[in-house]
Amino acid sequence: MIRAVDLTLTISGHTILNKVSVDVPKNKVTALIGPNGAGKSTLLHTIARLTKQDSGQVLLDNRSITDFENKELARHMSILRQDSAIGSRLKVRDLVSFGRYPHNQGRHSASDDLVVDKVLVDFELDALAERFLDTLSGGQRQRALLAMNFAQDAEAILLDEPLNNLDLSHARQLMHTVKHYVGRGKTFVVVLHDLNYAARYADHIIAMKQGEVFAAGDTSSIFNEGLLSDLYETPIEIVKVNGLPMALSY
């Protein structure tokens, strides 16, 4: 569904992306893993057209993303940045409603309200809907941002470290919500630092290192002790728990 071809980006002499080519399968969860500074966020931003690459291109359903008009792209692809600090004093419901902007340009219809209501419930925000963002905890704000992103209802949803600030229960819940939306035809690319979340929830893994694709494939093919140890340059052991691979490092 998303195909990046030979993406290269150099910023003041540093190669951030070096001929990165990836394929993101439709209707699946793709986890983007790799050590800090591997270029995961930059790849995500480049795919979403927030950062412009020096060369190479990104195709969405075989169409170059540069051919999409702004709102059209926003209806097909959404991205949640890792450090999305919102300074505005907005109510949760208002923020989530702005997710509908690419669809309605601010003129809300009853169907928009239905989407917003549903997403608020999905993220357990219905009780907080009338609260201002600056009265919420970090995790609640993160959920509000995620909810806005999901209200955008794009086919491809890119999430950069969405588990930040979320406690165990909400982290697990988010991944279940992601799976639920895959069932409704969505495609996800999620930057994950916890390999075990990748093992449990991802169908496909892209491993990046030093601005290049280190390995890509089915989750089972990436979960290989040698490969992961090389990727992170640290010993990683894989054990099976209830039939699922778990990566251990200590």
Partner 1 sequence: MIASLNVLQPYKCYMAVFLLLLFSFASLFVGVIELTPASLWSDPEAAWLLAASRLPRVLSVLLTGTSLAIAGLVMQVLVQNRFVEPATAGSGQSAVLGIILVTLFIPGASLMTKMGLASVTALLGTGLFLLIVRRLPVQETYLVPLVGIVYGGVVGAVATWLAWQADLIQLIDIWLTGEFSGMIRGRYDFLWIAGALAVFSYFLADQFTIASLGEDQARNLGLNYNVMMAIGLVLVSIVTAVTVVTVGVIPFIGLIVPNIVSRWRGDNLRHSLPLVAYSGAMLTLLCDVVGRVVIFPYEVPVGSVFGVVGAFITLWLLYSSPSAKRA
Binding site for partner 1 (CB under 8 A): 45, 48-50, 70-75, 78-81, 84-91, 94, 98-99, 101-102, 105-106, 132, 134, 149, 152
Helix (H, G, I), strand (E, B) or coil at 176: helix
Closer by beta carbon to partner 1, 97 or else 219: 97
Could you tell me the smallest distance in angstroms from the CB atom of residue 18 to partner 1?
Answer: 23
Residues 6+ apart with CB under 8 A from 153: 75, 99, 100, 103, 115
Closer by beta carbon to partner 1, 5 or else 90: 90
What tokens were used for 100? Answer: 């509908």
Could you tell me the smallest distance in angstroms from the CB atom of residue 9 to partner 1?
Answer: 16
Could you tell me the smallest distance in angstroms from the CB atom of residue 238 to partner 1?
Answer: 36
Could you tell me the smallest distance in angstroms from the CB atom of residue 115 to partner 1?
Answer: 14
Could you tell me the smallest distance in angstroms from the CB atom of residue 61 to partner 1?
Answer: 17
Distance of CA 18 to the CA centre of its chain: 21
Closer by beta carbon to partner 1, 19 or else 75: 75
Question: Could you tell me if 62 and 5 are in contact, meaning their C-beta atoms sit under 8 angstroms apart?
Answer: no
| Cα diameter, the chain | 54
What are the DSSP E strand ranges found in 107-211? 156-160, 187-191, 204-209
Could you tell me the smallest distance in angstroms from the CB atom of residue 134 to partner 1?
Answer: 6
Closer by beta carbon to partner 1, 119 or else 236: 119
Q: How far apart are CA 47 and CA 42, in angstroms?
A: 8
Closer by beta carbon to partner 1, 102 or else 245: 102
Closer by beta carbon to partner 1, 130 or else 233: 130
Could you tell me whether strands 77-80 and 244-248 are parallel, antiparallel, or unpaired per DSSP bridges?
unpaired
The candidate with the shortest Cα–Cα distance to 29, out of 211, 223, 185, 153, is 185
The candidate with the shortest Cα–Cα distance to 139, out of 172, 164, 175, is 164
